[in-house]
Amino acid sequence: MKPCAISGLLSGWLLCATLSGCQGPPPPKLAPVRGQVKYKQKPLGGATVCFVPDFNKGNRNGHQATGQTDKDGSFTLETYPHGQGVMPGFYRVTCIVFGGVAVPQKYRNAMNTPLIFEVTEQGNENLVFNLSD
């Protein structure tokens, strides 16, 4: 096949895909999740909060969501590459600080964390996670 024929086929396919609306699967429905992390009753700034789908509770289709805490411990979660929010379902919650305050190991590993949380379709806007030793 000549290069012009290949180019023509590719152009035709792209035009067909564009006109037929073939854009892949729709993005997942995300619910807003915002909250605060405290350690020993004080706001924990500079932490990475991760919501990892909890397979044991039936969340097999969710995606991991993450957020960073600011100096007052507040965070907003995002699901990459879809944007702000989290897919509804059960999650195991981890919290990791790189440098600074050392968070106990039990909060740093999704398999061991005592924090399990259900994200509802309406979202969860005022979460407070109180970490302790």
Q: How many domains does the chain have?
A: 1
Residue 109 domain flag: yes
Amino acid 105: pLDDT: 93
- Partners of 86 in the beta sheet? 31
Backbone angles phi and psi of 93, in degrees to 5: -105, 125
Assess if residue 18 is contained within a domain. no
Residue 110 in any domain: the answer is yes
- Whether the full predicted model's pTM is greater than 0.85, yes or no, is no
The stretch 22-29 carries a mean pLDDT of: 78
- Is 117 domain-assigned? yes
Report yes or no on 16 lying in a domain.
Answer: no
**CATH code at 63?**
2.60.40.1120
CA distances from 69 to 22, 25, 103 (A): 38, 32, 14
5 pLDDT more than 50: no
Residue 124 lies in a domain: yes
| 10 lies in some domain | no
Residue at 5: amino acid letter: A
Domain that holds residue 58: 33-131
Name the residue among 66, 120, 117 with its Cα closest to residue 128: 117
Decide if 19 is inside a domain.
no
